[in-house]
């Protein structure tokens, strides 16, 4: 089973995130992750390198 994608303030922000994804032809966070994986992009790594989280 795939790991659930989550982020800070998920419940408060997910509707806006999904709206932005849908406006760009992406159905879900899982699909967005799949697109990133295929392109060799790791958004979590990029964020951690940019702003280390303790």
| pLDDT, one tens digit for every residue, the chain (54 residues) | 467 888 889 999 999 999 999 999 999 999 999 999 999 999 889 988 888 766
Q: What integer pLDDT is reported at residue 2 of this predicted model?
A: 61
Q: How far apart (Å, rounded) are the C-alpha atoms in residues 54 and 21?
A: 29
Closest to 28 (Cα-Cα) out of 47, 11, 4:
4
Q: How far apart (Å, rounded) are the C-alpha atoms in residues 13 and 11?
A: 6
Q: How far apart (Å, rounded) are the C-alpha atoms in residues 45 and 51?
A: 10
Q: What integer pLDDT is reported at residue 11 of this predicted model?
A: 95
């Amino acid at each position: 089973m795939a790991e659930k994608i989550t982020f800070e303030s998920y419940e408060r922000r997910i509707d806006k995130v999904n709206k932005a994804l849908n406006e760009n032809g992406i159905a879900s966070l899982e699909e967005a992750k799949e697109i990133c994986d295929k392109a060799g992009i790791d958004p979590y790594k990029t964020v951690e390198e940019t702003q280390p989280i303790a």
